[in-house]
Amino acid sequence: MKLPDLPGGRVLPVVTAPASVLSATGVEVDPTDPAIVQLAADLVATMRVSPGCVGLAAPQVGVGAQVFAVDVGGHPKAVTTHGTFVLCNAKVVEASRWKAGREGCMSVPDLTGDVRRAGRVVVEAIAPGTGEPVTITTDAFEARALQHEIDHCDGKLFLDRVAGAHAIYQRKVYL
């Protein structure tokens, strides 16, 4: 997917749990608002400088809004990929092929957890800048990343979905 033209992005500090912004439902945004377009660029810039980061949502940089960036390109677990992209007001409209997998999060740097997610999703959203509707059909790792980021925009962390008492793990290193 071609990323709409975005301004230069700023690298923002990443917020970690238990910050309240991570637990609040993000507001729907006007994707053509210049402040949202700048936020989209900032999310991409911050994601790119963060080692191992495949997605970053606005609440993670302290903004309670439904905007997130994803880039799973080159990840060994990725099958279908759409490159680097930013979505606003995204919703999962179809989900199937549920499967457990291990997730981490820059906002929960010390823990990982096993979470069941759909292995195939259809996501509808709006592109920042152009304001055009976008439909993404994807699978595997990119589908998991999208669901993780959409959860952030809804005030949820992977901790709200871990499979059981023995499904959280102390992280040894953060890639």
Partner 1 sequence: MHELAITVIGPDRTGIVADVAEALAGLGANLTDSTMTRLRGHFAMTLICTGTSAEAAAMALEPLDGVTTTVREVSQADVAADGEPWVVSVHGADRLGIVAAVTREVAAGGGNITDLSTRLAGTLYVLIAEVDLPSGAEDELAEHLAVAASELGVDVTLRRAESEIL
Spot the catalytic one: 28, 132, 142, 149: 149
- Shorter beta-carbon distance to partner 1: residue 18 or 34: 18
Q: CA separation (Å) from 132 to 30, 31, 60, 135, 171?
A: 11, 9, 24, 10, 39
Q: How far is the CB of 83 from partner 1 (least distance, A)?
A: 32
Who's near 6: CB < 8 A, 6+ residues apart? Answer: 37, 40, 41, 44, 86, 128, 129
- Shorter beta-carbon distance to partner 1: residue 42 or 151: 151
| Binding string, residues 21-60; x marks residues near partner 1 by CB under 8 A | --x-------------------------------------
Segment contacting partner 1 (CB under 8 A): 45-53, 107-115, 119-127, 133-141?
107-115
152 in Cβ contact with 22 (< 8 Å): yes
Establish if 15 lies at the interface with partner 1 (CB under 8 A). Answer: no
Most distant CA pair in the chain: distance in Å?
A: 45
Q: How far is the CB of 69 from partner 1 (least distance, A)?
A: 24
Q: How far apart are CA 3 and CA 85, in angstroms?
A: 6
**Residue 149 falls in the annotated catalytic set:** yes
Helices (H), the chain: 34-49, 140-153
Q: Which residues are catalytic?
A: 149
**Site residues for partner 1 per CB under 8 A:** 16-18, 23, 100, 108, 110-111, 116, 156-157, 159-168, 170
